[in-house]
Structure 1
Amino acid sequence: MSTQSERIKERRKELGLTQQQVADPVGVSRVSITQWENDPSVRISGANLARLAKVLKVSTNYILNGGPSRMEEPSGQYHLENNLAAAPAMHGQVPVISWVQAGAFTEVCHVELDPEDTIWLPRPPGASEDCFALRVVGDSMVPRYNPGTLIFVDPEVQPENGDDVVARLTDSSIEEATFKRLILEPGAPKTLMAINPNWPHRFIEINGNCEIIGTVIADMNLRRR
């Protein structure tokens, strides 16, 4: 059975693509593609894996596990669109995921994404490869974050007092993640707080029943959706 590296290299050559032609739309360097094609032990992040699968026109499962799970592809040679500019390699892109997917983020190394349906946004400067975006719902964090605001969440950033975080309550039957401000004050219990002063049950005391999924490092509002 072929290795992950062999499948990536073989598929790239089948499509007649150079390593650079794969690297640009994935948002990584050519050196990264070389590593992926030669070192089977290299772990590809969930976001990069989804973009790589889209470029190679295969499923993420085919890259990871092999087998007859390639996506159906049109006949003829595959050509990259020359009217699209790749995201800067130093930043890459992040997926916009659902709150249910965010709630499951700590249980797996990455969430399963559909390369065709996932919305991708430029990765904020300094963010890790595991950074992802969420669209705010509800009014618990107004006026700072209105419904529809996109927040960028980085699991690699250690939260500090006053940071806004996405968390999962392990003693709750609700699968979705929650978005609150983390309060870490000396002599006081660790607390998640809704910014909205009129929000019912504004404070949630946490003591081992909460997993911080990631820290909000940036946000943006779109004029059109």
Structure 2
Amino acid sequence: MKMQWNMLVKARLKELGITQEKLSERLGITQGAVAHWLNKRREPSLEQISQILKAVGLDKLTLHSDGTLEYPDSVISNVTQIDIQPFDKRRFPVLSSVQAGAWTEAVEPYSTIEADEWYITTERTSDRCFWLRVQGDSMTSATGVSFPEDTLVLVDTFRDAENGSLVVAKLTDVNEATFKKLVIDAGQKFLKPLNPAYPTLPINGNCKIIGVVVDAKLKLI
């Protein structure tokens, strides 16, 4: 089946929780240009379309010269054309807090080939994910959602962080990544532990959000 590339990309952005602003940052172009292209007010070149598709993980589809994409019928059977079926199971590596912190500084993300542990997720994610093992009890809560020590959390570095998102961040004065809840209040951002015994940290240009937690695993044995 053939579908217009911009329809698939918009559906893909919604699926991954990625804004046009975030996509424009990844592509190194203005948000206005992305909006014009996705809404068909202007036509990008095939090379530019290819770059957009690669940025959202659709680069394995066949792009035709008329701007349509060859999309297998089996993938979108019984759903509307702009829907995308869930991915198959994906495996991502476990990084240490130091390796995760270095993610923001490396020219290329940490080489997953060197990772010793890999775990599967069935969540819809980008290709730029890793698992992080929770250290300490700052994210342990007596009520509601809780992440005890040794819980594995899956960090999607391509997902936009919003108020209430569980995020992994790198503070400028430490060489490790930290796992906290992002709180935005009156324009001010904070990193809030779920454990009330720990202090809430204001963000004043002193940290970099690495990614958003989209899955978690805890071994019972």
Kindly, what percent of the aligned residue pairs are identical? 40
- Cα 1:216–1:223 change in 2 (3 A) is same
**Aligned partners of 2:89, 2:156: CA distance in 1, in Å?**
13
8 Å Cα contact 2:101-2:175 kept in structure 1: yes
Task: Indicate if the aligned counterparts of 1:123 and 1:131 stay in contact, CA closer than 8 A.
Answer: no
Determine which of 102, 105, 108 is the counterpart of 2:103.
105
Which residue of the other structure, out of 142, 150, 153, is the alignment partner of 2:155? 153
Q: Report what 2:130 is aligned to.
A: 132
Name the amino acid aligned to 2:176.
E
Per-residue CA deviation, residues 14-62 of structure 1 (Å, 9 max, x unaligned), is: xxxxxxxxxxxxxxxxxxxxxxxxxxxxx9xxxxxxxxxxxxxxxxxxx
Aligned residue identity for 2:104: T
Could you say what secondary structure the match of 1:184 adopts?
A: strand
Moved over 4 A (4+): none
Q: Looking at secondary structure, tell me which structure has more strand per residue.
A: 2
In the superposition, the TM-score normalised over structure 1's length comes to 0.55
Structure 1 unmatched ranges of 5 or more: 1-42, 44-87
Matched AA of 1:190: K
Aligned to 2:104, the other structure's residue is in SS state: helix
Give the match for residue 198 of structure 1. Answer: 197
Structure 2 distance, partners of 1:98, 1:140, is 17
Find the aligned partners of 1:192 and 1:140 in 2 and give their Cα distance: 11
CA-to-aligned-CA distance 1:162-207 (integer Å, 9 cap, x gap): 111000112x0x211111110012x2521111110112xx111112
Give the AA of the match of 1:134: L
Answer whether contact 2:88 2:122 (CA < 8 A) is retained. Answer: no
In the alignment, residue 175 of structure 1 is paired with which amino acid?
N
Equivalenced residues, count:
132
Aligned to 2:178: 178
- Residue 123 of structure 1, CA deviation: 3.1
> Structure 1 residue aligned with 2:214, among 203, 213, 217?
217
Paired AA for residue 195 in structure 1: L
Whichever residue aligns with residue 216 of structure 1, its letter is V
Q: Secondary structure of 2:188's match?
A: coil
Give the secondary-structure state (helix, strand or coil) at the position aligned to 2:138.
Answer: coil
TM-score (norm 2): 0.56
CA distance in 1, matches of 2:103, 2:188: 25
Partner SS state of residue 98, structure 2:
helix
SS at the partner of 1:146? coil
Pairwise CA distance, 1:92:
2.4
Q: RMSD between aligned alpha carbons?
A: 2.0
The amino acid that maps onto 1:221 is L
Letter of the aligned partner of 1:181 in structure 2? K
Structure 2 gaps of 5+ residues are 1-53, 55-85
Give the match for residue 67 of structure 2: none
What is the deviation of 1:125?
Answer: 2.2
